[in-house]
Amino acid sequence: MKTIYAVFGDPVGHSLSPVMHNAAFEALGMDCEYHTFRVTKDDLKAAIHGAKAMGFGGLNLTIPLKEIALRLVEPDPIAKAIGAVNTIEFSKGSIIGHNTDGIGAVHALRSSGVVIRDSNVLVLGAGGAARAVVYQLVQDGARVTIANRTIERAEKLADNVSSLGTARGTGLEDLPGLVEQSHIIINTTSVGMHPDTGQTLITSDMMHSGQVIFDLVYNPLQTRLLEEAKKAGAITIDGVKMLVHQGARSFRIWTGVEPPPNVMERSVKDVLEKQ
């Protein structure tokens, strides 16, 4: 009997998770399928329990359901600390919530040969994705500066992880100076995402060669930020790598099987390159 996996969100039609997970299932010869379901905030509890009752293998959650799910499942320590759930595991009567976003970002950096410990990292944005990324970076020994339009949100996030390591929050007023001091810069905002592809928070004149510029936006594949980084001679990492690595972590949680990340990445890039 085929096992069903899914991502819930509202909206959710744009998700490329089905593409990469179905490519992994096919490559491994597993009798499984992954689908998208539009689920509203009000219906999330019923949808999660319905999926469990119908024998789904596991779930992913995307905007705007990650924070709400924290109250509906048994969060593991990482999800609880981050304050959001993006992966749900059905385990022997329990519904366990995980967060693989931060781990996915760190694995994307490491797979590109980037050293995190003792690096100065500038994180642009202070939303849900930033929370997961900052938590994992601080855990792994980075010195993190969070820059956000609303400085209070950046400071609050920094305070939340201060017991784990070094983090501070600030505004966007001194971006050139912040960029200059950073070894790694990570954009966790939606700036530059389709259809507003011409936008970027930082430009090539602020950057220098040897810096690592990581954009979590993956549509378009080559964002304006990454184009600016290439002009400056910086190392670039696209958002597909995080998508794949967080997805691979979810895959392992659900199945106990090691997925093929190269197959997953290629499947997503094939779709994006045709758009």
pLDDT at 63 (0 to 100): 87
Q: How confident is the model at residue 93 (pLDDT cuts 50, 70, 90)?
A: confident
Q: Is the dihedral of CA 212, 215, 216, 222 positive or negative?
A: negative
Percentage, residues of the chain above pLDDT 90: 94
Q: For residue range 132-177, what is the model confidence (pLDDT) as tens digits?
A: 999 999 999 999 999 999 999 999 999 999 999 999 999 999 999 9
What DSSP string describes 194-230? TT-TT--SS-GGG--TT-EEEE---SSSS-HHHHHHH
The catalytic residues are 66
What are the chain's domains? 3-99+241-274 (3.40.50.10860), 102-237 (3.40.50.720)
Confidence (pTM): 0.92
For the segment 41-55, the average pLDDT, to the nearest whole number, is: 97
Percentages (nearest 5) of helix, strand, coil residues in the chain:
40, 20, 40
For 14-25, write each residue's pLDDT tens digit: 899 999 999 999
